[in-house]
Copies of this chain bind each other. A is one copy, B any other.
């Protein structure tokens, strides 16, 4: 390989192994897999996920949904509350081109969607808060109350409940992580049962972020998992014990551009590695990425285009040597690059665009 740097590499065999692991788990539990594409933002990878059995994909933004539909993906769950007329109108255009499920977590949002879709029917799922304390209604009574409200609206068909246990990224032990996964699944399963007691059928009960899908996905009553990061993994997942460094399929290739007695400087900074150390409070992360093959090196400081790594006199890295870095948070790093350089056994085999990059709306 003689690549210009910084470059964003995918180890294809590692990615494929991660994909088959997700698929295999879902099949073993007889549940659906609807991976979140906000991690890779790639039509090519989304298609691979569907080819291997995913029932569709999950997206956060309408921009992401549009890119996936343009790429030929036909089933899309938009796991983000759409609350106003402007976005509801964009959503309506998308429902003409693909099977779309939208998300609701407020009466305001439900009303906006129903008004827009009146005369037609939009499939929606309620977002339940399972402890991340971001969006979502509370499990139990509050969920049932919103379900009843939706059931009475003309433009909506409620078919599912879902949650995202993003706080599992900050779990301090395996036990804590498993306990979050259990609560995550139960918050949805029990809320679904409470809705069904009221005569509102809830076919889909969707859970499972990357740290929790293998635990939450085993809870009886769960019908679907939505891992995103698990296609690549990263140092936050390694810190959680969910993955090993060799499971991490995404890396940043950087060049040493300066060497001084106390430091080397690489050409990857906050515009390629991001300043993430785990957005939901993960404390395992050291520095701004893991330099493969150099476990004692810490990327201590990032400017926009420079990474500074303290060294001692043992450091054999010289100016123009390259290093491969596993990022702390793969999802935000992929969003910083134009394209993936796809590698297989150290050969470049392909380039894939990061299609939905910067699709924030």
Question: Which residues in A have some Cβ–Cβ distance to B below 8 Å?
Answer: 2, 4-7, 38, 60-61, 80-81, 83-84, 86-87, 90, 105-106, 108-109, 112, 133-136, 166, 255, 257-260, 262-263, 265, 267, 270-272, 274-276, 279-280, 301-306, 308, 318-320, 331-332, 335-338, 357-358, 360-361
Write out the residue numbers on chain B whose beta carbons fall within 8 Å of the beta carbon of A270.
274, 276, 279, 332
Q: Which of A2, A259, A331, A361 has most B Cβ within 10 Å?
A: A361
Write out the residue numbers on chain B whose beta carbons fall within 8 Å of the beta carbon of A265.
134-135
In the complex, what distance in Å separates the CA atom of A61 from the CA atom of B262? 25
Q: Assess whether B337 is in contact with A336, with CB atoms less than 8 Å apart.
A: no
- Smallest distance from the beta carbon of A301 to chain B beta carbons, Å? 8
Instruction: Return the contact of A81 from the options B2, B258, B271 (Cβ within 8 A).
Output: B258
Q: Which of A134, A263, A272, A336 has most B Cβ within 10 Å?
A: A134
Q: Assess whether A360 is in contact with B257, with CB atoms less than 8 Å apart.
A: no
- Smallest distance from the beta carbon of A192 to chain B beta carbons, Å? 21
Chain B's closest residue to A357 (CB) is B358
Q: Assess whether A87 is in contact with B305, with CB atoms less than 8 Å apart.
A: no
- Known A271-B332, A275-B279, A332-B271; judge A303-B134 contact (CB<8 A): yes
In the complex, what distance in Å separates the CA atom of A53 from the CA atom of B298? 43
Q: Assess whether A83 is in contact with B305, with CB atoms less than 8 Å apart.
A: no
* 19 A-B pairs whose Cβ atoms sit less than 8 Å apart in the complex: A4-B90, A38-B305, A84-B320, A105-B258, A106-B258, A106-B319, A108-B318, A108-B319, A108-B320, A109-B257, A133-B263, A134-B301, A270-B276, A270-B279, A270-B332, A271-B335, A279-B301, A280-B301, A335-B336
Instruction: Return the contact of A80 from the options B276, B305, B338 (Cβ within 8 A).
Output: B305
Write out the residue numbers on chain B whose beta carbons fall within 8 Å of the beta carbon of A6.
360-361
In the complex, what distance in Å separates the CA atom of A121 from the CA atom of B353? 37
In the complex, what distance in Å separates the CA atom of A47 from the CA atom of B172? 51
Write out the residue numbers on chain B whose beta carbons fall within 8 Å of the beta carbon of A7.
361
Instruction: Return the contact of A303 from the options B166, B259, B358 (Cβ within 8 A).
Output: B166
Write out the residue numbers on chain B whose beta carbons fall within 8 Å of the beta carbon of A108.
318-320
In the complex, what distance in Å separates the CA atom of A304 from the CA atom of B81? 14
Q: Assess whether A4 is in contact with B87, with CB atoms less than 8 Å apart.
A: yes
Q: Assess whether B303 is in contact with A279, with CB atoms less than 8 Å apart.
A: yes
Write out the residue numbers on chain B whose beta carbons fall within 8 Å of the beta carbon of A279.
270, 275, 301-304
